[in-house]
Amino acid sequence: PKKILIVGGVGGGSTVASQIRRLDQDSKIILFEKGEHIAFSNCGMPYFIGKTVKEREDLLRDADSFAKKYQVEVRINTKVTDIDRTTKHVTYETGAETHQESYDTLILSPGASAFVPEIKGRNENNSFTLRTIPDMDRINAFIKDKKPRSCAIVGGGFVGLEMAENVKKLNMDCAIIDRSEHVMKLVDKDMAAIIQEHLEAKGVNLLLKNSLDAFTDNGETLQLSDNKSLQADMTILAIGIKPNTKLADQAGLTIGKTGAIVVNEYMQTSDPDIYALGDAAETADYLIDTPSNVALAWPAHRQAYIIANHLADTAAPYAGTLGSSILKVFDLTVAMTGHNSASLTEKGIPFQEVRHDALSNAGYFPGAEKISIKLLFKPGDGKILGAQIIGEKGADKRLAVIATAIKGNLSVADLAELELAYAPPYSSPKDPLNIIGYKAESMIEKQS
Ligand code: FAD
């Protein structure tokens, strides 16, 4: 039996522990988590703040029952501070004490941290990030005690947009400040326009091409780059995240172009006895030959499975990350996979695009809603390089079909051939995906 140490006990760390135990009943597994909670549902935090999720406990997992179920030694409030690769042991701190633990295999899943630039005049009592349960608790305590009427959100990505919906639900005024031309950088500008229109219709004040220069007035006034100012009782900083690579870097493990820990297709770092996964790991992109660091739950869970199988000698390689993601913005579903125009252009990859705006289901049936689909594909063979789908109904299932089509190596024209189920409440005899397939087919034919 081996001794396996895991650093980080949430998305990737707790999953890899349970996956290893599925295949190996003998090894000793020790899980180190510097925070108080393991295996919590960070994805649910915005919805607890907005009171859609009612019970805080529903986001948490009891460390003792996890330890018992998977026969894992769980050490919370314990931070790993150093890795000695020559003697194969780690140093960790718990309270004021420092100890060491040896390993045969070390697995790093330290995640990422919210990126917070130096901002003049920032008051930590009324400006927040959202990454951990203590972050969520601080936001909730502020809302309960101070009853803020307005919230500024800096950054219009996943967390920023989810928080906008949730603070509006609490009847606060809400403004989103983003330095880009449009919100949600993962979709193209024309698709982001749909989101922006919806946000404005819901009363969100959008301040684009604008950045936060400084706070004044005890952190309650934001000075923006267009020389205007904005009053807000609280601010959420959702600017982005940075992979936690300090430990790996100190230990001399290779850090890649994306700023994350380089791993091979079995998730081994440059030291084969040390694996890394999740938000801190740099994998390959599924579609094109480029490194990828995608901070989402699916890659972390799949990578946990890959590591467990590699350790058990039943290895399957990690195929790379496609980046399928989905987001609720008030009544809209925003779903995407693969690359967008900006990332393909930046990488110099030629592509064509096709867009189709349709109804989610038969127009005469009550509740049919607009759905917009955009696909990017390779000229010539029509290989699908990316998809963006936005609508109030049926966007999630269309995205799932495209993500599956990509993994099944279907071309954009093959979509015309998919026999998707139809009845008026769900679709049309020609599903919007069939139609976009026909459209793409004719674009490809015209070219050849
Ligand atoms: P984490 O789950 O963040 O775990 C890393 C852990 O390592 C942390 O708890 C940290 O305390 C610990 N740690 C770090 N360094 C040390 C050390 N030296 N010693 C001991 N412990 C250490 N993904 C989706 O796919 N869909 C969503 O809807 C979604 N929503 C999200 C909403 C929010 C608000 C947030 C914050 C994230 C969301 N994510 C979502 C992302 C998803 O949660 C992450 O991709 C996933 O948790 C990654 O797992 P991880 O193990 O890499 O990192």
pLDDT of residue 58: 95
Cα 439 to ligand 1 centre (Å):
40
Assess contact for 330 and 139: CB atoms under 8 A. Answer: no
State pLDDT tens for residues 324-372: 999 999 999 999 999 999 999 999 999 999 999 999 999 999 999 999 9
Read off the pLDDT of residues 44-72 as tens digits, 9 standing for 90 and up.
Answer: 999 999 999 999 999 999 999 999 999 99
Q: Which atom of ligand 1 is nearest to the CA of 9?
A: 6
The angle formed by the CA atoms of residues 209, 183 and 288, to the nearest 5 degrees, is 115
Mean pLDDT of 9-31: 97
Does residue 22 contact residue 70 with C-beta atoms inside 8 Å? no
Q: Residues 25-32: what's their mean pLDDT?
A: 98
- SS3 of residue 43 by DSSP: helix
The answer to whether 112 and 295 are in contact (CB under 8 A) is: yes
Tokens 């100890």 correspond to what residue? 99
Pocket test for ligand 1, best of 10, 138, 261, 267 (most atoms within 8 A of CB): 10
**Model confidence at 179: pLDDT above 80:** yes
Mutating to test ligand 1, I would choose from 279, 294, 322, 396 the residue with most ligand atoms within 8 A of its C-beta, which is 279
The answer to whether the CB of 295 is under 6 A from ligand 1 is yes
pTM for the predicted model, two decimal places: 0.97
| CA pair distance 223, 120, nearest whole angstrom | 10
Of 66, 109, 322, the residue with max ligand 1 atoms within 8 A of its CB, to mutate for a pocket test, comes to 109
Centre of ligand 1 to C-alpha 299, Å, is 12
Residue 7 in contact with ligand 1 by CB distance below 6 A: yes
Q: How far is CA 435 from each of CA 18, 351, 393, 424, 425, rounded to the nearest angstrom?
A: 43, 19, 17, 17, 18
Mean pLDDT, the chain, as a whole number? 97
pLDDT band at residue 447 using 50, 70 and 90 as cut-offs: confident
448 pLDDT exceeds 70? Answer: no
pLDDT score recorded for residue 237: 98
Q: Which of the following is catalytic: 22, 36, 43, 363?
A: 43
Question: Over 80: is that where the pLDDT of 409 sits?
Answer: yes
Sheet arrangement for strand 221-224: 212-216, 221-224, 229-231
User: Which is the closest atom of ligand 1 to the Cα of 246?
Assistant: 18
Q: What is the DSSP string of 392-424?
A: SSSHHHHHHHHHHHHHTT-BTGGGGG------T
CA of 238 to the centre of ligand 1 (A): 15
**How far is Cα 194 from Cα 178, in angstroms, rounded to an integer?**
16
pLDDT of residue 354: 97
pLDDT at 279 over 70: yes
pLDDT of residue 445: 80
If pLDDT is split at 50, 70 and 90, which confidence band does 414 have? Answer: very high
pLDDT tens column, 196-225: 999 999 999 999 999 999 999 999 999 999
Q: pLDDT-based confidence at 315, cuts 50/70/90?
A: confident
Query: Per-residue pLDDT for 84 more than 80?
Result: yes
Residue nearest to atom 47 of ligand 1 (CA): 11
pLDDT, residue 62, reads 92
Q: Is 42 in the pocket of ligand 1 (CB under 6 A)?
A: yes
Question: Is residue 422 pLDDT above 90, yes or no?
Answer: yes
pLDDT per position as a tens digit, 253-263: 999 999 999 99
| Interface predicted TM-score (ipTM) | 0.99
